[in-house]
Structure 1
C-alpha cells in the first residue's frame, strides 16, 4: 500500500484545521484500499490556537502529524519544511483555507499512477477575488515569462502532487529566499495539469494582502531570474561608455578650444567735467599650443 503525504502550511488558521481534516479524511476514505496517508501540518509560527488544534487531532488520529516552526518564516519556508519531513511515496501540498478542494487529490492520484511525476492544479476561476488582483496577476506572469529562461506555469500555484523523485530534488535546494513556483519548473520531470475552481475561503480572512503579493512577485523576479543581474550589467556598461565619451569630449575641447586672458596693464585717465578714459592691454592665450592675441 502506497503512502501519500498531504502537507499543509498554516498560519493563524485555528478555525480551518478541523474542517480541512474532515474533508481530507472523507476523500481519502474513497481510496483506502489502495493508499494510506499522513496529514502533515506545518505550523508557521501561529499566534492563535492553530497549534492546539493540530495537537488535538494528533492525539485523536495518529495519521495527523505536525511540525512547529519557531517563528513565522512565511509560506515558502513552511513548504520546504514539508518537503523535508514528508515520508510518503508522493506528496500533495495544499492551502489550509479549503480554496484547494481536497477532491482534486483523487484525480491527481490517477495521473500519478499513469507515470506523471508533477501533477499541478490550475485554477479555472477565482471566486472572491477582485478584478484588480486578477489583472495584476496576469500582468505579473506575463512579465515573468519574458525575463525567466525557464518559464513558470501561469495560474498554477502550490496545489500539486509531487513524486518522491521531485521531493528529493527540491530538498537539495536550500535557498532561504525561495520562489517555489519557479523551482517546480526548474527541476523538470514529467508534468501534467488538472483544473479546478477555487472556492472562497471557508472561514476567516486571507493572510495575503497586496503588500505580501508584491513582495512575493519581487522575490520571484529577483531569486528565480537573472534579469536584475543582467539589467545591472547592461546599465553599468552604458554608464561607463557615456562617462568615457564625455571624458574624450572634455579632453578634445581643452586641447583645441581652451583659452585665458592675461591682463598686461589697466589704467584710468581723468579729465575735467567728469570725463575719463580707460586704457587696457591684454594677451589671449588660445589652446595649449600658446597662440597669443593682444588688444587694447
Structure 2
C-alpha cells in the first residue's frame, strides 16, 4: 500500500464526513486507489464513532480503531500509526483546522527535498494574546530544559516515510509526549509553513496545558532534578555564610537583634522549597512507577473495517 492517512476522533462528529471526502479526493490524486484512511476513536462522547463506522460500510479503504476509553490525543495518534501499513503515512487532525489538501504540498516537498518527514508549522499561532504568549513560553522553556529543538507552533499534520514511522514506534513510553518523540527519532525533517484554521473550540484548558508541559519536560530531561541539587547547594552555602556572619557579629560587634518576622518568613520559605523539591522528585518517581508496570498505553475495544479489509494490526 502506498499511502495511509491517520486521524483521531474526539468530538469530531460535525467533521467526519467532510474530512473523509476531502482526504479521499486528495489521496486519489496522489496514489489513485492505493490508500487507506485510519480513524482512531479516542473515546469520543458524541456520534463520531457511529458516523465513522458508517463510512467503513461504503468505503473499503476506511478502518476505524475504537479505543476502550479516552486515552489522550498523543496515545491515540501512536495507536493509529501502529495500524498504518502505507509506504508513506500522513498524520492529521480530523477537525478540518488542518487541511487534508496539504497532503499534496507535503508530498511535493518530500520528493523535491529527499527527506523522511515533512511537517507543518503555523505562520502565526491562533488565539489571542494569552494563547500566543503561553505558546511561545512553552516552546522556549521546553527547548531550554530538554535541549530538544522542537519548532514553535508545530501542528499535527505531517507526512512520514515508512522507515521513519517504524522507528517512531520503537519508543515504548507509557507517559509519552509525541512532540518530543518526533524530534528525537531523527532522520531528515523539513518544515512547511501552513495556515491553520479555527473551526472548533480547544479542549485544552490551562490546567491541561500546564500538565502537558510538566509531562513533556520530565519525559525528556532530568534537568529539574539537577536544578534541585544546585538550589539546595546554594541554599546551604548561603545559610553557612549567614551563620558565619552572625557568629562574627556576636563575637566582635554585638548580639544580633531578635526577629520573629524574619524567623517565620525563613521557615515558610525553606519549608516551601523543601516541599517543592520533593514534589519534583515525586514526579520522576511517579513516571518510573508508571513505566515499570508496562501497561499498554491504549486498549483497543474493536476494529471496524470492510469484510474484505485485512485487520491492520495483524
TM-score (norm 1): 0.77
SS in structure 2 at match of 1:177: coil
Tell me the CA shift for residue 139 of structure 1. Answer: 1.8
The corresponding residue for 1:102 is 100
Within 5 Å, give how 1:147-296 maps onto structure 2: 147-201=145-199, 204-241=200-237
Query: Considering only CA atoms, is the larger Rg found in Structure 1 or Structure 2?
Result: 1
Q: Over the residues paired in the alignment, what is the CA RMSD in angstroms?
A: 2.5
Gaps of 5+ in 1: 254-296
Asked if 2 retains the 8 angstrom alpha-carbon contact of 1:157 and 1:181, the reply is no
Tell me the CA shift for residue 189 of structure 1. Answer: 0.4
The corresponding residue for 2:309 is none
Distance, in Å, in 1 between the alignment partners of 2:49 and 2:79 is 16
1:48 correspondence with 2:76:
no
Name the structure where strand makes up a greater proportion of residues.
Answer: 1
Tell me the CA shift for residue 198 of structure 1. Answer: 0.8
1:91 correspondence with 2:95:
no
Tell me the CA shift for residue 133 of structure 1. Answer: 0.2
Gaps of 5+ in 2: 250-314
Task: Pick 1 or 2: higher relative contact order, CA cutoff 8 A, min separation 6.
Answer: 2
Asked if 1 retains the 8 angstrom alpha-carbon contact of 2:2 and 2:31, the reply is no
Distance, in Å, in 2 between the alignment partners of 1:150 and 1:200 is 28
1:67 correspondence with 2:32:
no
SS in structure 1 at match of 2:123: strand
Tell me the CA shift for residue 26 of structure 1. Answer: 2.0
Count how many residue pairs are aligned between Structure 1 and Structure 2. Answer: 252
Show CA shifts across 1:134-182 (max 9, x none). Answer: 1211122122222222211111222111111111111111112111111
Within 5 Å, give how 1:22-37 maps onto structure 2: 22-33=21-32, 36-37=34-35
Tell me the CA shift for residue 210 of structure 1. Answer: 2.4
Name the structure where helix makes up a greater proportion of residues.
Answer: 2
The corresponding residue for 1:81 is 79
Distance, in Å, in 2 between the alignment partners of 1:181 and 1:131 is 23
SS in structure 1 at match of 2:164: helix
TM-score (norm 2): 0.72
